[in-house]
Amino acid sequence: MSSNFNAPIKANASTKSGTSRLSLCIKVLSVSCVSSLVSLASLAVADVPGKSGEGVRFHGGDEIILQGFHWNVVRTAENNWYNVLQSKAADIAADGFTAIWLPPVWRDQSSYDAGSGVTFGGEGYFWSDFNKNSRYGNDAQLKAAASALTSQGVKVLYDMVPNHHNRGHTGDELDLPSWQGHYRSDCSFCDDGDPFISGDSDFNTADSTVYNLFLNEMSNLKNNYQAGGFRFDFVRGYDPARINAWVGNSHDSSYCVGELWKSSGEYPASDWRHSASWQEIIKDFADNSNCSVFDFALKERFQNGSISDWRNGLNGNPNARWREVAVTFVDNHDTGYSPGPLGGQHHWALPDAKRKMAYAFILSSPGTPVVYWSHMYDWGLESFIRHLIQVRKNAGIKAYSPINFHDGFSGLVGTTTGDSGKILFALDSNISDPTAVASGSWTQVVNEDNGQIQIWSQGASGGTTVPVDFQCNNGITTPGNSVYVVGNNANLGNWNVASAIKLDPTAYPTWTGTITLNSGSSSEWKCIIRSEANPSEVIQWESGANNTVTAAQGVSTVGTF
């Protein structure tokens, strides 16, 4: 790639659409020009990689996840679930999902009395060993499903259950000897987290044998089962630093999310989390694991708060570094209902009457949304949710996108500003005119349930772009290093320093450059001094808070080391 490819695109070359850039390319016929055209064209649907500003593995913050199972599929589609997923791969991609969360793929031979003459077990959360011939299907069918999904652009997220397993089946391929430090019960406290129920099936994840057991399996899932990322189960049961090491050493550029379902009251009085908020507790997990985290702060508000209180999830936090690690959901295989025996587990189900509104909220707001299989494909919300996903993508909403909540109206009214447009949502509200909330020309895209769910959009995808002048002051560099700009959207490298945009030292030590941004978009960015030869080597970050800029004609923005 020619060195000037990273140079900011000069204002006179920046265009409002690909066509005039194409005519410019034909005149100039430069490689970098054509490849920038290709990258522009692919930007519209590109799967952005990269970690968050604080190093959390959120894969660019543009993910939309499907929970690829419900609690009873091992009973309602026994041994056939992988075949179902393979056959639906194209539909799942067409519905707009960028990733699918699979259930644990290791064979689970457990069973337990769930009451009313029903036997649960076999779902993967009490697995025996890494043999993948399970009640979801056999090893070959798993590989075929993973291949079909991956080839459709849907990343496969594998469910890791490293806290415990079903010990001591005869014929298992995993049967670690007792009293050698591999299990919690092998010493007074061989466990770096909570027990699963009695704890007699808990691993000691600090033990090197156990650590390597899972590290090797995660590498195996990456190399042979096309893992695009991981969901970590029962993370209250082990040290989040272990998760960071597992993912960092097996698949550092992947996506990961942790399930920390533990209320403050479950922490000992001596633990700071005993008197902390749900948001603080789950953000602490993200900080220590560098994985995203299910937004149980929002789930708790869904369950116990008013509609207006839904603003208090992690995904509504005013700090982008907080909201961008939230993985929002309405219900899952534990909290919600499932088709089949006993209606599944339904530990903490959202009342049906709020379900559509909750999906309207999570798909129109920051964080990474997860859609539960049964809501999408069993209970009639497929077209509603598919449309909400399209509205989200057209506006370029990302995990870190800014969100403003507007008071003075009933229900919940908010605006989310994406990379290429804005969404205004009004839930259970009495507004009819969007300009009463925010100026500009709004297009109504959703009006359902007698106005209980209203959504408008502005400047949808393919919106115009404008050249913005960037400047970094006091950029004192040594040969081989230059000043770059990196920021929180695709045009600014998504906080991935290897994709940062190099500035010009014409007015050294002031560095300048023009970068094309989506008109109306809000960006956060920083000046960095970075090696030219080694794209991941940052010599110096601009200190202090991020710089911000709202893109408009003639706007410039300045940072200072």
Residue 239 is a binding residue for Ca ion (CB under 5 A): no
Residue 348 is a binding residue for ligand 7SA (CB under 6 A): yes
For 368-393, b where at least 16 C-beta lie within 10 A, e where not — what string?
bbbbbbbbbbbeebeebbbbbbbbbb
Peptide bond preceding 509 in cis form (omega within 30 of 0): yes
Q: How far is the CB of 164 from Ca ion (least distance, A)?
A: 7
Q: How far is the CB of 238 from ligand 7SA (least distance, A)?
A: 11
Residue 291 is a binding residue for ligand 7SA (CB under 6 A): no
Residue 234 is a binding residue for ligand 7SA (CB under 6 A): yes
The single residue of 207, 233, 295, 300 carrying the catalytic annotation is 233
Under rule CB under 6 A, which residues in 490-549 are in contact with ligand 7SA? none
Tokens read off for 549 = 């800029």
- Could you tell me how far CA 377 lies from the centroid of its own chain? 21
Query: Does residue 504 carry a catalytic annotation?
Result: no
With beta carbons less than 8 A apart as the criterion, state whether 280 and 325 touch: no
- Could you tell me how far CA 88 lies from the centroid of its own chain? 22
With beta carbons less than 8 A apart as the criterion, state whether 425 and 455 touch: yes
Residue 411 is a binding residue for Ca ion (CB under 5 A): no
Of 202, 259, 295, 331, the one binding Ca ion by CB under 5 A: 202
Task: State the number of binding residues for ligand 7SA (CB under 6 A).
Answer: 25
Report d(CA 502, CA 515) in Å as an integer.
10
Under rule CB under 6 A, which residues in 260-289 are in contact with ligand 7SA? 261-263, 266
Q: In sequence order, what are the residues at sequence separation of 6 or more whose Cβ sits closer than 8 angstroms to the Cβ of residue 442? A: 424, 434, 435, 456, 457, 458
Q: How far is the CB of 23 from Ca ion (least distance, A)?
A: 32
Residue 116 is a binding residue for ligand 7SA (CB under 6 A): no
The single residue of 62, 259, 300, 324 carrying the catalytic annotation is 259
CA 196 to each of CA 103, 181, 209, 289: distance values in angstroms, whole numbers, following the listed order: 18, 17, 20, 20
Residue 112 is a binding residue for ligand 7SA (CB under 6 A): yes
Report d(CA 425, CA 456) in Å as an integer.
6
Residue 200 is a binding residue for ligand 7SA (CB under 6 A): yes
Give, as one character, the DSSP assignment of residue 374: I
Residue 8 is a binding residue for Ca ion (CB under 5 A): no
With beta carbons less than 8 A apart as the criterion, state whether 110 and 124 touch: no
Residue 62 is a binding residue for Ca ion (CB under 5 A): yes
Query: Does residue 352 carry a catalytic annotation?
Result: no
Q: How far is the CB of 46 from Ca ion (least distance, A)?
A: 8
Element (H, E) at 224: helix 208-224
Residue 197 is a binding residue for ligand 7SA (CB under 6 A): yes
Place of tokens 């609690």: 71
Residue 228 is a binding residue for Ca ion (CB under 5 A): no
Question: Is beta strand 501-502 parallel, antiparallel or unpaired with respect to 510-518?
Answer: unpaired
β-strand partners of 412: 427
Peptide bond preceding 369 in cis form (omega within 30 of 0): no
Of 53, 103, 193, 396, the one binding Ca ion by CB under 5 A: 193
Cβ burial of 33 (10 Å; 0-12, 13-18, 19+) is buried
Residue 217 is a binding residue for Ca ion (CB under 5 A): no
Tokens read off for 497 = 């320093």
Q: Which is nearer to ligand 7SA, 197 or 533 (by Cβ)?
A: 197
With beta carbons less than 8 A apart as the criterion, state whether 483 and 529 touch: yes
With beta carbons less than 8 A apart as the criterion, state whether 435 and 413 touch: no
Residue 499 is a binding residue for Ca ion (CB under 5 A): no
Of 121, 137, 240, 459, the one binding ligand 7SA by CB under 6 A: 121
Q: How far is the CB of 368 from ligand 7SA (least distance, A)?
A: 18
Residue 110 is a binding residue for ligand 7SA (CB under 6 A): yes
Site string for Ca ion, 162-191 (x = CB under 5 A): -x---------------------------x
Q: How far is the CB of 112 from ligand 7SA (least distance, A)?
A: 5
Q: How far is the CB of 145 from ligand 7SA (least distance, A)?
A: 20
Of 236, 301, 354, 393, the one binding ligand 7SA by CB under 6 A: 236
- Could you tell me how far CA 547 lies from the centroid of its own chain? 24
Residue 59 is a binding residue for Ca ion (CB under 5 A): yes
Binding residues for Ca ion (CB under 5 A)? 47-48, 59-60, 62, 163, 191, 193, 202, 237
Active-site annotation, residues? 233, 259
Binding residues for ligand 7SA (CB under 6 A)? 110, 112, 121, 123, 125-126, 161, 196-198, 200-201, 233-234, 236, 259, 261-263, 266, 333-334, 345, 347-348
